[in-house]
Amino acid sequence: MPKITIRKATIEDAALLLRFVHELAKEEKAEHKVKTSKEQIVKTLFGKNATAHVITCEADGVPIGHAVYFFNYSTWQGKNGLYIEDLYISPEYRNCGAGKEILKHLSCLALEKDCGRIEWSVLHWNASAIGFYESLGAKPQDEWIRYRLSGKALKEIACS
């Protein structure tokens, strides 16, 4: 098994992160939806107004994945939560413990920050990811339907 290390990403990782974003999108059959650039990643993840954070994962010093996360808030718990936007491990490094190490790292961070929970979304057809998450004790949430307002609809409501 390779030695897995997790570290906070730096601005120098922007091109690597963009590569991982494209790999993840391709895997999710949505590469055509990626609109970001290296410059946009620098601005939004490392700029002064950044509200999201990113860690990278390495196996024996080789970058193999990343996680993007941000803090949200639960009024019912009266606590922050940690939301994982992306968790990606290159396919050739899956099943070596890297995903578990990322979740362990983020779980420790969540507890340090007194978060009440960690949440993320997974595509309903991604059986291997679902199996992995459930093996760690994560439970699917089926009470809520996720909605999204973006593009033209977002602009129309904001400017009406």
pTM: 0.93
| Active site (annotated) includes residue 133 | yes
Choosing from 69, 88, 93, 133, the catalytic residue is 133
Distance of CA 81 to the CA centre of its chain: 14
How does pLDDT run across 120-142, given as a tens digit for each residue?
999 999 999 999 999 999 999 98
- What is the rounded CA–CA span in Å between residue 15 and residue 28? 20
Q: What is the pLDDT of residues 11-52, one digit of tens each?
A: 999 999 999 999 999 999 999 999 999 999 999 999 999 999
